[in-house]
Every structure is written in C-alpha cells, then in structure tokens.
Amino acid sequence: MKIKGLDHIVFIVDSLQDAAGAWQGTLGLAVGEQLESESLQGVLGLLPVGAPEAGSGFIELAQPRGSEGPLAGMLAERGQGMLSLSIEVDDIDAAVAELKNKGVGIADVEQGPLPDSRVARFAPGATHGVRLQLIERAPNG
C-alpha cells in the first residue's frame, strides 16, 4: 500500500459561515471552494492549507442542510468538532485488499462525497476510536 499523504481533516459544524469566519479570523484560512453533498445532505467548505501545487491537504467544514441526514445525525450525536481524517492512497482497491488480508476492519470501497473520489472507512475499533478513511482521487481530482 502506498500512502500519498494526509488528504484532509473534516470538522462538523452547525454553521459553515460562522466556522469559516473563525478559521479565517484565527489562522487566515479561507474557504476556497464550497460544495453540496447529496450523500451527506450537507454543505462542505474546503479550506486549503499550504500550497495546493505542493500536494498540501485541506480542512473540510461540513454543515448539515437541515435536521435530517447523515451529517445532521452525527452533529446531534457528537456535537461540533473533528469528525474524521482522510489518508490518500494511490490504489484504494489494493490497499483495502491488503488491510482485509491482515484482518483489519475496513469497509468496502464506495463513492466518496467529494468529486472524483472513492473512500473506504475503517471500523472505529481498528483505529482506537478515530474516524479514519482511505481516499483515492481520480488523476484530475
């Protein structure tokens, strides 16, 4: 398995606008792109960290669109804060097969909420409670 690096960290927030203002006011990080996620039923604000051409990752602020859906459920259950870490790999199918062969608890690969991405989520017990996922991006993603 070839790990390319830390892709992004997700924080769940109740107000994307308020959270984005806090990140910009505190660290000077501004939302560079805002996306709608149908699968998560939310709005995602992407804050680049460092130079994108250098392969730097980003912070994702995830706000539920309403009181229903996956993000709304997670926000109600856990409150605001860090939700997950995403590690980028070059071949997610091979990585998942390797991990399953080692007996690591990881889900099958599925379409990711970000454009041109595929993800596989670890079982929380496999990562000591940290919500961790592998991500593979299309060559243009």
Predicted model pTM: 0.88
Could you report the per-residue pLDDT of 7-30, keeping only the tens digit for each? 999 999 999 999 999 999 999 999
> Which residue blocks in the chain are alpha helix, DSSP H?
16-27, 70-78, 92-101
Work out the pLDDT band at 138, boundaries 50, 70, 90.
confident
Which pairs count as long-range contacts for 15-18, CB under 8 Å and 24+ apart, including other chains?
A: 15/63, 16/43, 16/45, 16/61, 16/63
Residue 50 pLDDT:
80
What letter represents residue 49's amino acid? V
Tell me the torsion sign for CA atoms 111, 57, 100, 40. Answer: negative
Four-way CATH pick for 3-137: 3.40.50.300, 3.30.450.40, 3.10.180.10, 2.30.29.30:
3.10.180.10
What letter represents residue 58's amino acid? F
Q: Is the pLDDT of residue 141 over 60?
A: no
Q: Is the pLDDT of residue 139 over 80?
A: no
Could you report the per-residue pLDDT of 36-67, keeping only the tens digit for each? 999 899 999 999 998 666 667 999 999 999 99
Could you report the per-residue pLDDT of 83-124, keeping only the tens digit for each? 999 999 999 999 999 999 999 999 999 999 888 999 999 998
Residue 114 pLDDT:
86
Residue extents of the structural domains in the chain: 3-137
